[in-house]
Structure 1
Amino acid sequence: MSALRKWLFTGLLVIVPGAITLSVLNWIVGLLDQTLLILPQAWHPDRLLGFHLPGFGVVLTLMILLTVGALASNFAGRKLVQWGDAVVHRIPVVRSIYSSVKQVSDTLFSESGNAFRTAVLVQWPREGVWTLGFITGSPSGEVASYLRDEFVSVYVPTTPNPTGGYFVMVRKSECVELEMSVDAALRYIVSMGVVVPVDPLTLAAAQIPPNP
């Protein structure tokens, strides 16, 4: 029985990650394939080829993103985007939703943004209990005027789903900046501490060939 139990758990460890990965990829491809709905019916790959071939929506989405990015990068494109933002900000309900989403996307995807660039150790939810977080910036405006010391804005993700979490403002002196990458810290969080990040110093030492 112990051997059967061992084989069962070993099989699960092999199959479950691959099955979940394929399921997520299938969902993403299926979602992006909905982009094909913007094309005329006569241009649909299913109609041209005579059968369904998944993945064309991914290619079309990438082409749209690259085209919009190229157009918005020049002077005329930037002016057009600014004009569109001005129009949206005049719509009462839409402007509040759009402004919030745009601020988050500008922070996350902007090349000059500082979001999720540094992993830190913070004491959360109480003193003496430590967890991983990510510096997202510094308090400003009215909030900063009430904080007498130097604070940083930290996002503390939940585990195993890091898309939910808490926004806290912590004294910079109480944050321990880590050398691990953001990807390594996210893997550490998602795995609930099972996948331990490799110490950069240990990795560098392991890569140095021994003296002959």
Structure 2
Amino acid sequence: MKIKSKFVWSQLIKYFGQGLLFVVPIFATFAVLYYLFQKLDTLLNLDIPGLGLVIIIGGVTIVGFVGTRLVTTPAFKGIDRLINRAPIVKIIYSSVKDLLEAFVGSKKKFTEPVIIKINNDSDVSQIGFLTQTDLTDLGIKEGFVSVYVPFSYSIMGNVYVVPRVNVKKLDSSPTETMKFVVSGGITNVKEQRKEKEIK
């Protein structure tokens, strides 16, 4: 009985931790943007609705533009190296950086939607994105690839290492595939394509 209650508590703590990882970054982002929006509107003291929001969006875009220009400079590389020396900060920083680059950077990763079979004895398949084709650096033999499988209604997901023969490319675009998986299969790919054609 004690073992069962310990297991339940450990699972609850695990889920709580995962919930924090999901909620805190989103809440923090909206809180910062809301705070900046309020401050800008107060400082400017102009009766123009949404001016603060326009300035924030413009500011973030400018930071992105300047950031892409500084990426190749020694100063940026020096800061990058400095952060990567800090033990715990390095893990968080590099993970977030890699994830952001995978979505919006020059090193986009989620560009190859695929369907995979986890078990050869079953017809059940999962939709995901091919992220790595060479895993020998991890000590995994050739012929295996890594596939990111996002969860429905979440930004989280799992990474599976499967034989290359179990992976088939999909005809849908990365955006259509991500929407389909994250929506729990509710998004209609055909309707999305029709909407694009109308636009």
TM-score after normalising by structure 1: 0.62
Change (3 A) 1:77 1:60: farther
Aligned to 2:4: none
- Asked if the contact 1:119/1:181 (under 8 Å) is kept, the reply is yes
Give 1:124 shift: 3.8
Aligned to 1:135: 130
User: Per-residue displacement from partner, 1:93-147 (whole Å, max 9, x unpaired)?
Assistant: 322321222222233322243x11121111246732112111122243432x432
Letter in 1 for 2:152: T
Aligned to 2:19: none
Aligned to 2:153: 160
Q: Which has the larger radius of gyration?
A: 1
Aligned to 1:49: 45
Determine which of 113, 120, 125 is the counterpart of 1:119: 113
User: Per-residue displacement from partner, 1:56-85 (whole Å, max 9, x unpaired)?
Assistant: 2x4333333332233334469722211211
Aligned to 1:182: 174
Question: 2: distance between equivalents of 1:64 and 1:159?
Answer: 32
- Asked if the contact 1:29/1:55 (under 8 Å) is kept, the reply is no
Identity fraction in percent: 21
Change (3 A) 1:157 1:125: farther
Change (3 A) 1:105 1:178: same
- Asked if the contact 1:116/1:182 (under 8 Å) is kept, the reply is yes
Question: 2: distance between equivalents of 1:191 and 1:90?
Answer: 39
TM-score after normalising by structure 2: 0.65
Question: 2: distance between equivalents of 1:100 and 1:147?
Answer: 24
Change (3 A) 1:55 1:153: farther
- Asked if the contact 2:150/2:182 (under 8 Å) is kept, the reply is no
Give the secondary-structure state (helix, strand or coil) at the position aligned to 2:190.
coil
Question: 2: distance between equivalents of 1:101 and 1:35?
Answer: 23
Give 1:52 shift: 9.1
Question: 1: distance between equivalents of 2:95 and 2:31?
Answer: 28
- Asked if the contact 2:111/2:129 (under 8 Å) is kept, the reply is yes
Letter in 2 for 1:34: Y
Change (3 A) 1:198 1:76: closer
Quote the RMSD (CA, aligned, Å): 3.6
Runs of 5+ in structure 1 lacking a partner?
A: 1-26, 208-212
Determine which of 133, 137, 140 is the counterpart of 1:146: 140
Change (3 A) 1:51 1:189: same
Aligned to 1:70: 65
Aligned to 2:22: none
Give 1:30 shift: 6.3
Question: 2: distance between equivalents of 1:97 and 1:180?
Answer: 32
Letter in 1 for 2:133: S
- Asked if the contact 1:33/1:55 (under 8 Å) is kept, the reply is no
**Alignment length, in residue pairs?**
167
